[in-house]
Chains A and B, each alone.
Chain A
Amino acid sequence: MDTSEDVLQPLSPDLVRGSETARPAKAARLSPSFISWLQAGPMMLVFLAFFLIPLVFVVIVSFWDYNEYQLLPAFSGRGYTDTFEGCLAQLPDLCTIVRTYLKTLKFCFLVWAITLFIGFWVAYFLAFHIKSKTWQMGLSLLCTIPFWTSNVIRMIAWIPLLGRNGLVNSGLMKTGLIYQPVEWLLFSEFSVVLALVHLFTFFMVVPIFNSMVRIDKSLIEAAYDAGATGLQTLVNVIIPLAKPGIVIGSIFVITIVMGDFITIGVMGGQQIAAAGKIIETRVNALQFPAAAANAVILLVITFLIITMMSRIVDIKKEL
């Protein structure tokens, strides 16, 4: 899913600025600021051309008018007002669009919490329980195996497993645990969360593992020597030091889930809407300004979440 590219972008300026301090002392002839511009330049250009400029277009188009078959380049808030049409009248009931965004947030939170929990312990196991570097490498490569097939295939693979006549249901029926197929296994919020967790846990494992292996083992020994229990070491030493990884992994997962509509569509039997789905249907109906308006709304929400996260941890400082 292409959202992963966008995910990388907001981080890059930080990385770029980081390189400023690491410039080699030898290149004295060129002015230091020129060199840092030179280093930052390519990334900046890419960032500008493929992220900022398209984004500006999206924002501009979101304020255009439209009809059945074309965009009308005149200022109009219709993209936004159409989106929330009837929402005020419906109060105190929430209108569908608001509920759709809330549902997206709910998925986002659930998937984030579950992937964080699983990802943290997988990374913990890899970083602290596997002593040999070779095994660490080997096992973390093992984690990538699911990624050798496409997202869509990994998603669709759940269907014969969870379906009414699927493997799980027929297994449970045979053991006599149930007499009727369990319907909520497939095309439900359960299957959506399950598939999202399955798809994206890896995005948590890698950054957290990355921060954990860099933790100086002597710190843990020091904690042990000072009489800390395992839990105290975990809470006071490991978690704070793994925070950058946790935040980066969280940003990955949150941005992907916020923008995802394919998984939610397929696993939800197209019955569960997501913010991304609104954009897709708008585009299919050739209502580009309305689609752009929804994209802007989604972006703002995602941006707010990420800003909050980076308030908790100053990634720039930690890296």
Chain B
Amino acid sequence: MTETTRKTGVSRRTLLKSTAGLAGLAAGSGAITGFPYVMSAEPKVLRYLGTAVNEGDDISKQCLKDTGIKIEYITATTDDVTKRVMTQPNSFDVLDTEYFSLKKLVPSGNILALDSKKIKEFDNITPVFTKGETPGGKKIGGQGTAPWKVLYLEGKDSKTFSKTATEFVTLIPTVYNADTLGIRPDLINRPIGSWAELLNPEFKGKASILNIPSIGIMDAAMVVEATGKYKYADKGNMTKEEIDLTMKVMTEAKKAGQFRAFWKDFNESVNLMASGETVIQSMWSPAVTKVRSMGIACTFQPLKEGYRSWASGFCVSKGVSGAKLDWAYEFVNWFLSGYAGAYLNRQGYYSAVLSTAKANMQPYEWAYWMDGKPAEKDIKAPDGSLLEKAGAVRDGGSYEDRMGAVACWNAVMDENDYMVRKWNEFIAA
């Protein structure tokens, strides 16, 4: 039994046209971790690789209860997730990653597109993903790697994105959000309304930006556009000259001592803000919530230029087949069936299938999180702790207002390689 699985594993791997050296190393490790499963008598286990956004104990427990599928989380940063898909495609079953990574992942041939016909709620997925507009009909900015540009493949094993809808979906959408700057209103004492404020000398030595090149450059571009210095054709796909210009503006600010520090993970951003080292910085919504739950004023500030958005979803490793693939579909279907969506909505993210999430939330919760209305009752986090007192309104307002104001999406540029080098120079400057 192990023999056959091992064999299929190896032959499949030899088919992979990816890197000889690394694939060789990865195959070695994959062969060890990769085969002890598949038999039907064994428990249903899926190894789930992703960033921590979608990963929650409550979700995996509920999933086990509802479907009998045991989820084993493998948590990594966005960069590490991508690295792992490239070098160890057999070390996971279900992949939870962001749309902007697809430009790297799909050509590597290490992931398997899912069949939209087998996804029960596929037709109910929010038009944000399929049409690039909100349910209310607001057109969403499509700069960068917008999900609808990379949602479909031409064929099952195709490495080309399809412009029209096909059966083969690169990532089944799960969660997304519109990001903006976080500020400390108690230390700034005046309204902040533009991305340009990040480089305002008033906040010299008290500003921060995240040090993840592909996301950081988008924030930088939002700032450059906001200052009126330049207008990009596509912030998510700059030319070399545009990258140089963007990095020049940022480098000058850095040399003038604008930034206190750069952050790379959630907790770093929380600490910088909570300790008062920074008063304005790029931030993620749950990080703002975290600072606020520590009793420190922090606002996820809507800005007039709009939001920078991101989205993530599920696909599976190329190596997944047979019963395991069925479980993967079962899991994805379960994920979209409401419990997880409501859970994510309650954290300030948005779920891909709104109808099922709504059915799993209290009307007052829905009104607060999605409709932008003042909270009728106290708003609790999924773990039961108090997030907002009754009467509070969500930063940025309703789903329509926020998603409708998205200006661009996290992206991988054609000039990504050059951009990363320039970003490094900026960090080192």
Residues of A within 8 A of B211 (CB): 270
Are A270 and B19 within 8 A (Cβ)?
Answer: no
Cβ contacts B276-311/A at 8 Å (1 or 0 each): 110000000000000000000000000000000000
Note all chain A residues with C-beta closer than 8 A to B82: 286
| Distance between Cα atoms of A1 and B195 in the complex (Å) | 39
Which of B390-429 touch A at CB < 8 Å?
A: 412, 416-417, 420-421, 423-425, 427-429
**Cβ contact within 8 Å between B22 and A288:** yes
Of B20, B260, B428, which contacts A273 at CB under 8 A?
B428
Contact present for A68 and B276 (CB under 8 Å): no
- Please name all residues of chain B whose beta carbon is closer than 8 Å to the beta carbon of A154 when the two chains form the complex: none
Docked-complex contact B424 and A278, CB < 8 angstroms? yes
Residue A232, interface by CB 8 Å = no
Known: A73-B19, A271-B259. A165 touches B429 (CB 8 A): no
> What band does the interface of chain B fall in when counting residues whose beta carbon is under 8 Å from A?
35 or more
Closest chain B residue, CB of each to CB of A270:
B262
A57 touches B (CB below 8 Å)? yes
Q: A69-B107, A271-B254, A281-B420 are in contact. Are A164 and B277 (CB under 8 A)?
A: yes
Q: Is B427's CB under 8 angstroms from A160's CB?
A: no
Which residues of A lie under 8 Å from residue B79 when comparing CB positions?
284-285
Q: CB within 8 Å of B: which of A37-87?
A: 57, 60-61, 64, 67-73, 82, 85
**B16-52 CB contact bits vs A (8 Å, 1 = yes)?**
0011111000000000000000000000000000000
Q: Which residue of chain A is the closest to B104 with respect to CB atoms? A: A69
Residues of B within 8 A of A97 (CB): 425, 428
Is the Cβ of A163 less than 8 Å from the Cβ of B277? yes
Given A68-B103, A68-B416, A287-B417, A57:B21 Cβ within 8 A: yes
Q: How far is the CB of B211 from chain A (nearest CB, A)?
A: 5
* A106 interfacial contact with B, CB 8 Å: no
Within the assembled complex, what's the spacing in Å between the Cα atoms of A99 and B429?
9
* Interchain CB contact under 8 A, A273 and B424: yes
Query: Is A238 at the interface (CB under 8 A from chain B)?
Result: no
A96 at the interface (CB under 8 A from B): yes
Q: Does B9 contact A (CB under 8 A)?
A: no
Q: A61-B21, A69-B105, A99-B428 are in contact. Are A285 and B417 (CB under 8 A)?
A: yes
Provide the bound-state CA to CA distance between A194 and B1, in Å. 57
The interface residues of chain B lying within 8 Å CB-to-CB of A13 are none
CB distance from A202 to the nearest CB of B (A): 27
Chain A residue contacts of B19, Cβ below 8 A: 70-73
Task: Give Cα A77–Cα B419 distance, bound, in whole angstroms.
Answer: 20
A270-B22 in contact given A68-B107, A281-B420 (Cβ < 8 Å) = no
The B interface, classified by DSSP as helix, strand, loop or mixed, is: helix
Which chain A residue has the least Cβ–Cβ distance from B259? A271
Closest to A283 in B: B83
Alpha-carbon gap, A116 to B83, bound state (A): 40
A270, B83: Cβ atoms under 8 Å?
Answer: no
* Set of chain B residues within 8 Å of A72, measured between Cβ atoms: 19
Q: Is the CB of B420 within 8 A of A68?
A: no
* Residues of chain A with a CB closer than 8 A to B264's CB: 270
Q: Does any Cβ of A come within 8 Å of B86's Cβ?
A: yes
- Could you tell me if B21 and A164 are in contact, using CB atoms closer than 8 angstroms? no
Cα A284 to Cα B80 in complex, Å, equals 7
Question: Which residues of A lie under 8 Å from residue B254 when comparing CB positions?
Answer: 271
Contact in complex: A68, B417 (CB < 8 Å): yes
Partner of B261, one of A67, A271, A287, A288: A271
Q: In the assembled complex, which residues on chain A have CB atoms less than 8 Å from the CB atom of B116?
A: none
Minimum distance in angstroms from A106 CB to a CB of chain B: 13
Q: Which residues of the partner chain A approach B107 to less than 8 Å between Cβ atoms?
A: 68-69
Assess the A269–B261 pair: CB atoms within 8 A: yes
A159 at the interface (CB under 8 A from B): yes
B108 on interface, CB distance cutoff 8 Å: yes
Q: Is B2 an interface residue (CB 8 A)?
A: no
Inter-subunit contact B21/A71 (CB<8 Å): yes
Query: Quick check: is B126 within 8 A (CB to CB) of the other chain?
Result: no
> Judging by beta carbons under 8 Å apart, are A270 and B263 in contact?
yes
CB nearest to A96 among chain B residues: B425
Asked if B277 and A270 make an inter-chain contact with CB atoms under 8 angstroms apart, the answer reads: no
How far is B19's CA from A164's CA once the two chains are assembled, in angstroms? 47
Q: Is the CB of A183 within 8 A of B205?
A: yes
Does B362 interact with chain A (Cβ within 8 Å)?
no
Cβ contact of B83, chosen from A85, A186, A284, cutoff 8 A: A284
**Contact yes or no, A85 B259, CB < 8 A:** no
B271 within 8 A of A: yes
Q: Does A151 contact B (CB under 8 A)?
A: no
Q: When the two chains form the complex, which single residue of A187, A273, A282, A284 contacts B427, counting CB atoms closer than 8 Å?
A: A273
Confirm or deny: B348 has a beta carbon within 8 angstroms of a beta carbon on chain A. Answer: no
The answer to whether B275 has its CB under 8 Å from any CB of chain A is yes
28 A–B contacts from the bound complex (CB under 8 Å): A57-B21, A60-B21, A68-B107, A68-B412, A68-B416, A68-B417, A69-B108, A70-B19, A72-B19, A73-B19, A73-B21, A96-B429, A97-B425, A97-B428, A103-B428, A163-B275, A164-B277, A183-B205, A269-B260, A271-B261, A277-B427, A278-B424, A281-B420, A281-B424, A285-B213, A285-B416, A285-B417, A286-B104
A-B contact sample (12 more), CB < 8 A, given A68-B104, A270-B263: A68-B412, A68-B417, A69-B107, A69-B108, A164-B276, A165-B275, A187-B277, A271-B254, A271-B262, A277-B428, A284-B80, A285-B420
Return the 10 tightest CB-CB contacts between A and B, nearest first: A269-B261, A273-B428, A270-B262, A71-B19, A284-B79, A96-B425, A285-B420, A69-B104, A69-B108, A70-B19
